[in-house]
Amino acid sequence: MNKTRYALLGMLNDAPRTGYMLKQDIETTVGHFWGESYGQIYPILKQLVAEGLATVSISDGKPLRKVYAITDAGRSELRRWLVEPIASAQPSRNELLLKLFFGAEVSKEALKGHLVRQREAADAALATFAGIKDALQAYEQDPNLPYWLATLRYGERVQEAVRGWADETLDALDAPPSGASPRRYS
Amino acid sequence: MNKTRYALLGMLNDAPRTGYMLKQDIETTVGHFWGESYGQIYPILKQLVAEGLATVSISDGKPLRKVYAITDAGRSELRRWLVEPIASAQPSRNELLLKLFFGAEVSKEALKGHLVRQREAADAALATFAGIKDALQAYEQDPNLPYWLATLRYGERVQEAVRGWADETLDALDAPPSGASPRRYS
DNA sequence: GCCTGCATGTAAACGGTTACATGATTCG
DNA sequence: CGAATCATGTAACCGTTTACATGCAGGC
């Protein structure tokens, strides 16, 4: 039921890593849709070893590094989870939408600020994705590439939708309040 | 910092309600991007009263109902929060994308199953939104309507993006693996 | 010598869900 | 009469983040 373990197993399935490296790699690869903190990583690595899903080997150098590797049992547990249907996620909370929903209580200028910042965030995300896409060309032969690209395209699609929505909503906030436009006497 | 309080204040700002009603109303209005459980609602309502942001009045009927109403202090606290910039959200976890990212480890059929279910969920959400949009026509004069519609359009845009992505990704999974298609000897 | 980055870990606090307990009312 | 719904609340549990503590290595 705990999903952190599968994120770690998935990463270890690609290559053995230390806890520290797992954190970095998670950030740079699945960072736009998944996050883990050390407070989770280290205890769960210990668990995985206890359950026989991973092994540790302490590097005999001075810097003290514990390199974790996936076992066959770990790989089959990973596969089991990968195939298992996804429990319909309860809606994650969206603070922007909540503020907008209650928007009648505050000035339109304040709401526009939220929307502009959201659009900027979407643009920044899209720029990041473009950079990643370029970097991924180096992996042309990697069998993982199609899957990595699919997650990237998800991000692109959603961020484009958000940006379009923000633009549209900014326009709507400027448009005449409702119904007939206030007719000027002529 | 706790956002549940603002969800409750926002709802109470519309009209006084019981804890039970708050739960129902949150589900039916902001349910697609916000959720609250009784375990949060009741204790926090108590807090709000202690802080002077809301008042309770116990209905003198037999069924024991506690009706909460927002105070002026509560309203100004709500406004303060509504205007405050949104802390850049850390990416919420997306289990589907994580499974897809590690997709090379399992069969394409399994992955297609995930995508088909996701597309179905998107379609179902879009159908719900269409229903809500119809129902909202009754609120034509309500000053809240433009904001409610804006949150609805967000849902539509994002779900459409997700559906489009799922279709595209299903196609990609069927397409020849990578590079040149395996040339048949002729 | 100091700062940054590599590296490991823990404890406390937090926010939230789930399950449980209770009881009245209403409708079939 | 029994089931569903209205209604209030608490306790346990869970996953996660944050802050803290430690120490080595390498470059400025």
Q: Copy the structure tokens of residue A17.
A: 């890593």
pLDDT for the residue B105: 97
pTM attached to this predicted model: 0.92
Q: Copy the structure tokens of residue A110.
A: 């304040």
Query: Is A34 in Cβ contact with B178 (below 8 Å)?
Result: no
pLDDT for the residue B184: 60
Q: Are the CB atoms for B106 and A10 separated by under 8 Å?
A: no
Backbone φ and ψ for B58, nearest 5 degrees, come out as -85, 120
Q: Are the CB atoms for B141 and A118 separated by under 8 Å?
A: no
Res A182 pLDDT > 90: no
pLDDT for the residue A90: 73
Res A14 pLDDT > 70: yes
Residues of A in contact with B96 (CB under 8 A): 86
Rounded to an integer, what distance in angstroms lies between the CA atom of residue A115 and that of residue A117? 5
Rounded to an integer, what distance in angstroms lies between the CA atom of residue A13 and that of residue A64? 22
The dihedral region occupied by A156, where left means phi > 0, alpha psi between -120 and 50, and beta the remainder, is alpha
**Residue A106, amino acid:** V
Q: Which of A163, A160, A122, A139 is nearest to A29 (CA)?
A: A139
Q: How far is the CA of A186 from the C1' of D4 (A)?
A: 62
Res A159 pLDDT > 60: yes
A68 forms beta bridges with: A17, A56
A26 CB neighbours strand D below 7 A: no
pLDDT digit string (tens) for A25-35? 999 999 999 99
Which of A33, A147, A160 is facing B94, going by the closest CB pair?
A33
pLDDT for the residue A180: 52
A67 forms beta bridges with: A57
Q: Which of B13, B56, B24, B53 is nearest to B143 (CA)?
A: B13
Rounded mean pLDDT of A71-80?
98
Query: Is A157 in Cβ contact with B172 (below 8 Å)?
Result: no
pLDDT for the residue A181: 52
Percent of chain A with pLDDT over 70: 94
Rounded to an integer, what distance in angstroms lies between the CA atom of residue A75 and that of residue A52? 11
B90: confidence class by pLDDT, cuts 50, 70, 90:
confident
Average per-residue pLDDT for chain A: 93
Rounded mean pLDDT of A1-17?
96
Res B82 pLDDT > 60: yes
Rounded to an integer, what distance in angstroms lies between the CA atom of residue B17 and that of residue B25? 9
Q: How far is the CA of B159 from the C1' of D19 (A)?
A: 38
Average per-residue pLDDT for chain B: 93
Res B119 pLDDT > 70: yes
Q: Count CB atoms within 10 A of the CB of residue A66.
A: 16
Which residue is it, tokens 């904001």?
Answer: B147
Is the model more confident about A60 or about B172? B172
pLDDT for the residue A64: 84
Give the closest-approach CA distance of B116 to chain A in angstroms: 11
pLDDT for the residue A23: 97
Rounded mean pLDDT of A95-112?
98
A61: confidence class by pLDDT, cuts 50, 70, 90:
confident
Rounded to an integer, what distance in angstroms lies between the CA atom of residue B177 and that of residue B185? 18
Q: Is A144 near chain B, with CB under 8 Å?
A: yes
Q: Which of B103, B179, B181, B173 is nearest to A140 (CA)?
A: B179
